[in-house]
Amino acid sequence: MGFIEFVNTGSHRPGAFGEIFVMFNVRAFCLGKAHEEVIKTIVRHGTFLVTEDGEKTLELPEPFNIHVGTPFEDYMVSPYNMFGERAMGQYVHDLLNGSESDFVYTYHDRLFDYPRRDDIGSMRGDGRGDGIDQVAYIIEKLRSDPTSRRAEGITWFPEYDAVSKNPPCLQRIQCMTRDGVLNMHVEFRSNDMLSALGANMYALAHLQKHIADTLSLSVGWYSHTSVSAHLYYERDHEELMKYVNGLGLADLIKKLDNCAYISI
């Protein structure tokens, strides 16, 4: 497909100190192109920030929404992405089927085995089994009521995540059936748009397809909102330069290298 739709627009207004804030949107026909346009946008409009973890990031001043009309159109992975199709396939497997990871949480466990307490107060789920299968709930909800706006799943579990040093970045997924297709919207509280976004979108689109296939529906649009859309400017600089060189952003990087950081 040769047609590319890209929109980067927003409502401009002055901030407290006269700066201009913009609500950014990217629309693209495929995931790989969307990822590239996201990197362009952050390099052009991001501001430097040192996070609470001491990481130097380049972050957009407002939430960022990505809309991909045909998520399974070629190309799903940008040629500048450090992860190839094989690594992406493993990430899909881990999301849909689980993994042996020792990490504090996995998206598979939170979506397919959400934690709960049983009648005697023992904790179930979150990889231990006998939790809440939110994906099964989404499927059955849309099977029984195709017009529902309640077919969603969450990952945040306050009892764990309020005190965790590594709480989930993905917060919510919502599916809707309209005009015979299954659409999906996802929301991230914090999103590494350089190293993680490509794999995030790739795997979540496959989750969307899993749900659509189970309901005998076609895959519709994929929408992705990142409240804190950022990239790690120093830690992942070598990776960033692959996009910079491939997308012709060298002059912008030179300007960024002369900017100062602010801390929170």
Number of domains present in the structure of the chain: 1
Classify residue 3: in a domain, yes or no: no
Statement: residue 229 has pLDDT above 80: yes
Classify residue 264: in a domain, yes or no: no
Classify residue 7: in a domain, yes or no: no
Distance, in Å, from the CA atom of 221 to the CA atom of 96, rounded to the nearest integer, reads 20
Place of tokens 């497909």: 1
Angle between helices 197-214 and 85-97 (to 10 degrees): 50
Q: Give residues with Cβ within 8 angstroms of 97, minimum separation 6.
A: 108
pLDDT in tens, 180-198: 999 999 999 999 999 999 9
Classify residue 51: in a domain, yes or no: yes
CATH of the domain at 155: 3.30.572.10
Dig out the tokens for 211 from the structure: 């749900």
| pTM listed for this prediction | 0.90
Classify residue 107: in a domain, yes or no: yes
Structural element, H or E, at residue 127: none
Question: What average pLDDT score do residues 202-225 get?
Answer: 98
Question: What average pLDDT score do residues 65-82 get?
Answer: 97
Statement: residue 141 has pLDDT above 50: yes
Question: What average pLDDT score do residues 143-158 get?
Answer: 98
pLDDT in tens, 10-32: 444 444 445 555 579 999 999 99
Catalytic residue among 30, 169, 175, 259: 169
Classify residue 262: in a domain, yes or no: no
| Annotated catalytic residue 30 | no
Question: What average pLDDT score do residues 84-91 get?
Answer: 92
| Mean pLDDT computed over every residue of the chain | 90
Statement: residue 104 has pLDDT above 80: no
pLDDT at residue number 102 = 72
Residue 119 belongs to domain spanning: 13-256
Classify residue 40: in a domain, yes or no: yes
Classify residue 72: in a domain, yes or no: yes
